[in-house]
Structure 1
Amino acid sequence: MTHYCTSGDVSIAPDAAIAAGTVLRADVGSAIAIASGACLGLGCVLHAQGGRIEVEPSASLGAGVLVVGNCRIGSQACIGTSTTLHNVNVGPGQLIPPGSLLGAAGRSAAGVGQTTEKRNSPGNSSSGKTATMEPEPSPWDEPEPAHSSPDSGSGSSPDPNPDPNPDPNQRRSATGPTATGKVYGREQFERIRGAFS
């Protein structure tokens, strides 16, 4: 039993090192060739589409590297962890920093290392193939609720003159959130609970 998965036309040299969780998948009409002394780190995914993926002798791919399409990784090249390669060739002995994204024209590329396109940013629109995701607003960015006056009876306001030397033996009344007060995370909880109802 192997600790990695192969599908399609995949050839692996007997002395290549392939870590657990690696997936080598070649679509119909495509192939993957792993040469002698090559090293594929934990959880690498190589998916040959419309061509061939070649990992030449003594090349090293770090953990979590994704290689898609038609690619050649030159001998003694070193691909940093969590890097994505899409239809590109990496020269012999070339070093690619971790987290790089190298891709074909028409795709968005971000991160460090060599890229084939400019980073997708708010004044730099790219092709329609690029999905832009806006970050979810943080609850910390919400404005603080206005404190009601002590006369209104709804909620409580902070003590304007706190005791600088409180007596630890004196019991203070702690007031929790009231029905009208805001409870951190309640909106998110209700939204999630509603999704499962």
Structure 2
Amino acid sequence: MTSILVPAKSGFDPLGISGRPLLTQAVLLVVGTAVLALASQISVPMVPVPVTLQTLAITMIGVLYGWRLGTLTVLAWLGEAMLGLPVLAGGNGGLAPFVGPTAGYLAAFPIIAAMAGLLAQRGWTGDRVVLSFSSHLLANLTCLAIGGAWLAVLLGVEKGLALGVVPFLVGAVVKSALAAALLMAVARHVRPSRG
């Protein structure tokens, strides 16, 4: 039995999630939240928002899990954080990150997981490296726009851009290129074994 969380059968599905039972998908959700928690701990401290591997992990989960399960996984991870589990950058958890400087980025995370997953479902992934890079970059820039907008509310537009967007642009490009390269390798590895 499959669930409504599966990616479209015509979409990019290297993990074969579309054919997996609901229990397996639930296990993948838990594994995904653990991956997100781990990626959050790999960070470069910056003020007011650290640089982490969160966005790379989020967009990859959106692509690999499909937009539905990917988005649900990100929401579950954010729920763990709200409950106080130390799953966010710097081992943070609780409600404070959801009202502080990082709130806009946290709100953007499920959106960018869905975006990356939907674009992958439409073929923007795998061997289509330029489209794959573009989808991840678009997701990263969307995250920066939402996070920067929240910082602009807190600190003013100039400081919001200077502290919450500009320092992260190079990282967005690098993470997008890494995601595209990883997904190209996944597509090439999976194709021969299924062909």
Higher relative contact order (CA 8 A, sep 6+): 2
Length-normalised TM-score, structure 1 = 0.20
- Greater strand share, 1 or 2? 1
- Greater helix share, 1 or 2? 2
Which of these two proteins has the greater Rg computed from alpha carbons? Answer: 1
